Homo-oligomer: A and B are copies of this chain.
Amino acid sequence: MQVRLPKRTFAEALAMLERIIPNRASNPVLTNLRIEATGEGLRLQGSSGELDLELTVPAEVDGEAVRLVPGHLIGQVVRNLPGELVELGLEGEQLIIDSGSFSTQLATTNPDEFPPLAFDAASVARLPARELGRALARVRYAASGEDYRAIFRGVQLELHPGRLRSVASDGFRLALYDLPLALEVERKFVVPARSVDEIVRVLERTEGDLNLGLAGAHLILAAEGFRMAASLMEGEFPDYERVIPPEFALEVEIDAAALKDSLKRVKVLADRNNHRVDLVFGEGRLEVVAEGDYGRGVERLDVETRGGGSMVLAYNAEYLEGALGPVGGKARLRFSGAASPSVIQDVGDEGYLAVVVPLRV
């Protein structure tokens, strides 16, 4: 086997795989990268046990071979190589990595020990990779980091006729994103949030369309150069749509960045336990207020209001910041009062909708 490829291509692929390959694992074979010289290029596989990733990178390949090498070690070696070009070879069970003035021999192991990764699935949908990435990335923040309700540690993907929806919640807040899509199926499944993070990272770098498939309890994503399989969680989200109020008493439009900056400033003074900030709306204006043991902070902002004149609402600042996070330009905020969930939308991206429940004060 002889393989030649640009260092940068190789290093970038390894960096993505290193994010998935565990440093330690109850099954130690998973700490390895499976490296295969094929007619299609250099094929690299890694698995966390929960998420499998295969990347095939273009390379000059002479002869076929497949070996396992310690995943993080080869990542470190390749990142630090001095030359622009990398040459790989096999001497017995040693993988030789040459680049410029530097030469490495790495011990490899038998590939038969590596769990076979299965990426075959009938395609359920074909869609632009970046749009799926966006749908996942926009809602990811709202997933729970706690064990409180296990299903909320995942992101729900829903396939409906005509659209794909991503949803995340931790029981106190909710984010969803609707993507119009020529679909005919009706399916719901929940992907662990940790896998979602890695899927988003891969999709961000992917041009063009991908195939989305389902095989048993796995979501399969495949496009030119990569294939992924993510184990799905058992169960689905409880009916969340009933928490979204159909009507609102007050609607406000405001520059999202200005409100985020203001929350960041004001929350420094907030109570350390509940992070409470108050939004005090008057005609055409908003005061963002926080008060804690060490003092009080107030910021006055101009806003466009529709509906009821004045209203006072209290929130956990972190939740409000989270909901505004994905909004780039103008945010639309809709309120029904201190006892009802509030809704935040992105004026420039109608697919996004977040629900935040005010604090009871």
Q: Write the residues of chain A forming the contact surface with B, with a CB cutoff of 8 angstroms.
A: 70, 73, 76-77, 80-82, 94-95, 101-107, 261-262, 264-266, 268-269, 293-301
Interface centre among A101, A295, A297 (most CB of B within 10 A): A295
Residues of B within 8 A of A80 (CB): 261, 264-265, 268
Q: Which residue of B lies closest to A76 (CB)?
A: B268
Q: Quick check: A294 and B107 within 8 Å, CB to CB?
A: yes
Q: Which of B261, B295, B298, B301 makes the CB contact (< 8 A) with A107?
A: B295
Q: Which of B95, B294, B298 makes the CB contact (< 8 A) with A103?
A: B298
Q: Which residue of B lies closest to A73 (CB)?
A: B294
Residues of B within 8 A of A293 (CB): 107
Residues of B within 8 A of A269 (CB): 73, 77, 104, 106
For this chain, the copies found in one complex come to 2
CA distance A94 to B80 in the complex (A): 55
CA distance A268 to B73 in the complex (A): 7
Q: Which of B95, B103, B106, B301 makes the CB contact (< 8 A) with A101?
A: B301
Residues of B within 8 A of A295 (CB): 73, 94-95, 104-107
Q: Give A84 Cβ to nearest chain B Cβ, in Å.
A: 15
Query: Given A77-B268, A77-B269, A297-B77, A261 and B82 touching (CB < 8 A)?
Result: yes
CA distance A107 to B293 in the complex (A): 8
CA distance A105 to B294 in the complex (A): 8
Q: Quick check: B298 and A77 within 8 Å, CB to CB?
A: no
CA distance A359 to B15 in the complex (A): 33
CA distance A266 to B102 in the complex (A): 8
CA distance A81 to B262 in the complex (A): 9
Show 22 residue pairs from A and B whose CB-CB distance is below 8 angstroms, ordered by the A residue: A73-B268, A73-B269, A77-B265, A77-B268, A77-B297, A80-B265, A82-B262, A82-B265, A82-B299, A95-B295, A102-B265, A102-B298, A103-B298, A103-B299, A104-B269, A104-B295, A104-B296, A104-B298, A105-B296, A106-B294, A106-B295, A107-B295
